[in-house]
Amino acid sequence: MATLCHSAHTRTFGKIGRRNAAKVLCSTQMPPSQSTIKVVIIGATKEIGRTAIAAVSKARGMELAGAIDSQCIGLDAGEISGMEEALEIPVLNDLTMVLGSIAQTRATGVVVDFSEPSTVYDNVKQAAAFGLNSVVYVPKIELDTVTELSAFCEKASMGCLVTPTLSIGSVLLQQAAIQASFHYNNVEIVESRPNPSDLPSQDAIQIANNITDLGQIYNREDMDSDNPARGQILGEDGVRVHSMVLPGLASSTSIHFSGPGEIYTLRHDVTNVQCLMPGLILAIRKVIRLKNLIYGLEKFL
């Protein structure tokens, strides 16, 4: 979704890898509690960033402390997020200044990174230099970057959560698929998306990776079929995926298992980006206690 930067009054202000992936209501007039988590959002003007600004601002024990982006500089974070009241937090493109301000208060802080794969490593490293842990939700992040981040966090004793999804429903779907995969010989993934994108989706790839190398070979009857109508095989264990792109469809992922005389179907539908916010709030609360890199939100469920 394109970012809309409306005019506003200026305010003054004081693929993921397979198994070898890294295992890796207080009054506004009162000062925030020392237990309040100060949150900095990178990629603040993206749809997910704007939604996260509102979610963090409303979450108990959290406070938006910075909104970082290269667009909409100077506009109020609350206003670009559609909130009823301004937050008096302007969008900035200077992460160092925001981190330095938090470090001076000695408050607990977390950087939430929605940026791009090429900037994630530097963002996490910069956050760590100021004593802040990070939550990274950048679906196209490379495995090599995750590995490098894991080594850095281990050496620096700093926490970081890198997750391919913030949707709790998606995580539960994947966990259920792993359990089912031990009992069925046939499985196919069917996904629908309203807009063209990289397909198969990251969700489908993650599901296939999770049920791969568990000692099962799926769809043996036509595993060698090269008919394109049979969908794409992900991995070497015969997991097939079919991707539909139709305007108006909700984003949906279904996993169909079959055995003698039965079909077992798991399905997860997403209607909007709000589905990621419970997982984001959970991730922020958990990451402050980490001293290393954790891969996957499922580690906290």
Say how far apart CA 39 and CA 64 lie, in whole Å.
5
127 contacts 120 by C-beta, under 8 angstroms: no
pLDDT of the residue at 197: 81
pLDDT at 233 over 90: no
29 contacts 97 by C-beta, under 8 angstroms: no
pLDDT at 6 over 60: no
Using omega within 30 degrees of 0 as the cis cutoff, is the peptide bond preceding 117 cis? Answer: no
Instruction: For 148-174, write each residue's pLDDT tens digit.
Output: 999 999 999 999 999 999 999 999 999
Q: Tell me the residue type at 247.
A: P
195 band by pLDDT with thresholds 50, 70 and 90: confident
Cα separations (Å) of 43 from 77, 249, 253?
11, 26, 26
Length of the chain: 301
Say how far apart CA 217 and CA 9 lie, in whole Å.
61
Say how far apart CA 287 and CA 295 lie, in whole Å.
11
- Domains, the chain: 35-161+273-293 (3.40.50.720), 167-269 (3.30.360.10)
Instruction: For 69-95, write each residue's pLDDT tens digit.
Output: 999 999 999 999 999 999 999 999 999
Say how far apart CA 172 and CA 204 lie, in whole Å.
14
State the average pLDDT over residues 2-28.
Answer: 40
Long-range CB contact pairs, 141-145, < 8 A, 24+: 141/16, 141/117, 142/15, 142/117, 143/15, 143/16, 143/17, 143/21, 143/22, 145/117, 145/120, 145/121
Say how far apart CA 245 and CA 195 lie, in whole Å.
6
Summary mean pLDDT of the chain: 88
